[in-house]
Amino acid sequence: MKKRSINIFLIFVVMITVSCTKDWLEVKPKGTTLEDNYYQNADEAFAGLISVYDPLGTEWVNTYASKVGLLNSASDDCYAGGAAYGDQISWEAWNSYTLEPAVGPQESFWGRNFTGVNRANTLLSKLDDVPMNETLKARFRAEAKFLRAYYYFDLVRLFRNVPLFTSLLSPSEFFSAEQASPEDVYTQIEKDLNEAIPDLPLSVPPSENGRVTTYAAKALLGKVILFQNNESRMAEAAALFEEVNTAPYYELLENYADIFRPDNKFNKESIFEITHTSVAIGYWDFPRPPAGEGNLLVQLCGPRAYAGPTYSAGWGFNPIIPDLVELLKGSNRYVGTVANIDSLEEAGLAVYEKGYQNTGYFMQKFAPLKDFQNSGGGDAVLEWPNNYIEIRLADVYLMHAEALVRSGNASEAQQWLDKVRERAGLPLVPATLENIYHERRLELATEGHRFFDLVRTGKAAEALAFKGFVANKHEILPIPLTELGNTKLKQNPNY
């Protein structure tokens, strides 16, 4: 799929180039004609579908905007790190809550997700007229709706107040679009997921790994309901999680660290996984920022100027905060989460450069392991093959437990919390909300979930006060300054 996505990118580049090299006064640009004529068969529709998936793995728009890395920086899991203060100003702005409309990661997140929305809308507007097998067409439509829902779920959590597009807009409409209410956005997300579920496959063969399934859509729908904090709907969310957790396709891996190994992609714990590869050539020259399909977070979060066993040198981002390290000690999750580089240096086995906010602890889940640094022919630092599991089974177990407790069924919730604790090698504890939230922090540490969990549970102001978090402001990002000029969009409160 990643190889095909590059072809789609090139197709659109050619389309744009053709239209721009002709007389700019032409009434009907050539690019429009080419787009109108493009979706003529199932192969072209599939290529359009790949373009909708492609922003999932985008690690940059205007900067090194790793979704996971930036969310870690915003939380109490990690610091921003890097070579020095402000190495990547967007990371530091969220890390220290010095966000401004023109300073922060908001432009990258806005661009990534609205690119996905626009591509989904484009495909959905074309599919009805494509001559192809109707069952296959229904699946393509369902995948596009799932992805549009996924992108909007990110947007509404990150910005709260966003415009809602479910069809293609004319250029003039871009400037007249207004923000929808969060409730309307959530309604559309749920509508897309409910319409997608019947036409998605229960599972996919290895040749289609990375494409979404019925259970990925049900897990996401349950999560969407959970995050809206409507107590009357917790039983509804729990029922969706029940379907996922009892499906025959998934099970917890015995060894926690194996979940994240690049040679164990799409394992039994993976429900929705974002693909990266070292096959596509990564290079710096054009376009800028760099091109490739590798996972740049792996390079970003490795220890700087490292020389020693196991790891390759990275750029020192996302050092883990010691408080989290202490909480992880005593469970078998520690070795799968924490790379203790200071201990290697103290033993005389390694040396490394102490970057900004260095703690000596780095992310093992996304560590640049020497065994997997296989160059695809370009710059190896851009070609790390590590995937990212957006939704995995232990996450759904814990959301299931939470939804059950919140719907008054703590006794049934106990089994799902117990399964996660047992795998971690920890004694069992009662299924209370506090225990479940604590377990989520440890089980999902450094995977980018913590910030959203703190915000939705109302704990962000207290937990992130040491970083400068201000209540009723920093729960969301500012609308990018570049989106406000000559539009009807309004800035988020207190920015």
Contacts of 301 (CB under 8 A, 6+ apart): 69, 81, 314, 315, 316, 317, 318, 362, 363, 366, 367, 368
27 pLDDT band, cuts 50/70/90, is: very low
| Token output for 9 | 């990118």
Q: Which residue has the tokens 């729960």?
A: 475
- Mean pLDDT, rounded, for 313-331: 97
- 260-289 pLDDT, tens digit per residue, is 999 999 999 999 999 998 887 777 765 556
Pairing of strands 304-307, 351-353: antiparallel
Name the residue among 169, 163, 117 with its Cα closest to residue 144.
Answer: 117
- pLDDT for residue 34 is more than 70: no
The more confident residue out of 62 and 303 is 303
Burial of 286 (0-12, 13-18, 19+ CB in 10 A): exposed
16 pLDDT band, cuts 50/70/90, is: very low
Q: Say what the pLDDT of residue 379 is.
A: 85
Taking the CA atoms of residue 162, residue 163, residue 166 and residue 172 in that order, the dihedral angle to the nearest 10 degrees is: -150
80 pLDDT band, cuts 50/70/90, is: very high
- pLDDT for residue 59 is more than 80: no
- 147-178 pLDDT, tens digit per residue, is 999 999 999 999 999 999 999 988 888 889 99
Q: Say what the pLDDT of residue 280 is.
A: 78
Contacts of 319 (CB under 8 A, 6+ apart): 78, 79, 81, 355, 357, 358, 359, 360, 361, 362
293 pLDDT band, cuts 50/70/90, is: confident
Provide the whole-model pTM.
0.92
Q: Say what the pLDDT of residue 30 is.
A: 47
Q: Is the dihedral of CA 93, 472, 404, 441 positive or negative?
A: positive
Give the integer Cα–Cα distance in Å for 103 and 105.
7
- pLDDT averaged over the chain? 91
Q: Say what the pLDDT of residue 20 is.
A: 34
Give the integer Cα–Cα distance in Å for 281 and 261.
22
Q: Which residue has the tokens 């559309």?
A: 188
Instruction: Give the rounded percent of residues in the chain with a pLDDT score beyond 70.
Output: 91
CA–CA distance from 460 to each of 369, 468, 485 (Å)? 33, 11, 31
Give the integer Cα–Cα distance in Å for 209 and 266.
7
- pLDDT for residue 24 is more than 70: no
- pLDDT for residue 91 is more than 60: yes
| Start-to-end Cα distance in the chain | 40
- 354-409 pLDDT, tens digit per residue, is 999 999 999 999 999 999 987 777 888 888 999 999 999 999 999 999 999 999 99
